[in-house]
Structure 1
């Protein structure tokens, strides 16, 4: 009887003793960098639908072209925030679709952004920041891009541009793009501004 009790006790303690002796397996660098950081957690709080007002300044000092009745849908694809913008039903705005993706690359320690817009022949516009956000603003620089222009002829002039992304509070986001055209003036002006209000 005593031998049976000893065997039962050893069997009960065996797995616990083995678990204590097993060395902890350290996560790989890829596993650690794949876990959401504070930047991805910030992006995940932006999910849902947003009403958008878009403003476009076709030239320095010009009056903006204002487009209302837009809606943006935001969702996470893994750690990446995807935004799809289009006219809201019944808005009367000509049909288009604009996609953008925003992610914080934890390995490089900087933001990455890309946008695509069917309203203009601008192709795919990749951008990246130099480091993390500063004072609540994500500032990304686009690759130089040819600009078709607004007239009858293709201008084909290169422009450099950036985009500042700010979220003043949980229900508002502002994206603002500035450009410098390759026309010899070096003049920088506000080109596009998107104002977002969360739908409740």
Structure 2
């Protein structure tokens, strides 16, 4: 019997992986018709993510900030948000309006309803604060026109020259009873022993005509 070289076996296994195993994980492949009915159902928008399509477009944004429970509000009306659907995910880019005198703002957020888990998930980032990526999720599917997300706790930088920090908890409520006028509110709780929650951020979106 002719002896099979080791390298030939390796080449064969590689070819097997490329032709049989990998296509299962690649979108738009020839095996797509073999997806189960459940997988096809989950791939569709569904009731919740279909609602997100109504929130697409360009919005003028009024931001209100309370830096502490006793602080007076600070307003920023020089913001624009662009929203579009990517598959079943709503993508949002927020930036300073052209010609605005304040510092440029770059905030990104992605949100989608996970139909297997039965809850909303999002991830966001804001270059104004050095906290990195901020993942969040709801406890359940929520109401038809209101979503409440609970963020993973994250540290905020302390004051001074040394690198110190303090943990912060945050939740976010998105109210879109009127798709052309969306209000997003964020409540903070510092890990300072007080357990005090306060409205720290409000974004008010008005769709451009």
* TM-score category of the 2 structures, normalised to the smaller one: 0.7 to 0.9
Q: Which runs of 5+ in 1 are unaligned?
A: 1-24
1:162 equivalent in structure 2: 171
1:137 equivalent in structure 2: 146
Relative to structure 1, the CA distance from residue 26 to residue 159 in structure 2 (aligned partners, 3 Å threshold; closer, same or farther) is: closer
1:121 paired with 2:155, answer no
Correspondent of 1:184 among 193, 199, 205? 193
1:4 equivalent in structure 2: none
Relative to structure 1, the CA distance from residue 26 to residue 101 in structure 2 (aligned partners, 3 Å threshold; closer, same or farther) is: closer
Q: After the TM superposition, which segments of 4 or more aligned residues of structure 1 sit over 3 Å from their partners?
A: 151-155
TM-score, structure 2 normalization: 0.79
Q: Which runs of 5+ in 2 are unaligned?
A: 1-33
Please list, as runs of the form range in 1=range in 2, the aligned pairs for 1:54-93 lying within 5 A after superposition: 54-93=63-102
1:99 equivalent in structure 2: 108
The answer (yes or no) to whether the contact 2:63–2:76 under 8 Å persists in 1 is: yes
Looking at structure 2, the residues matched to 29 and 65 of structure 1 have their Cα atoms a distance apart, in angstroms, of 48
1:32 equivalent in structure 2: 41
2:180 equivalent in structure 1: 171
How big is the alpha-carbon RMSD for the aligned residues of Structure 1 and Structure 2? 1.7
Larger radius of gyration: 1
1:20 equivalent in structure 2: none
1:41 paired with 2:50, answer yes
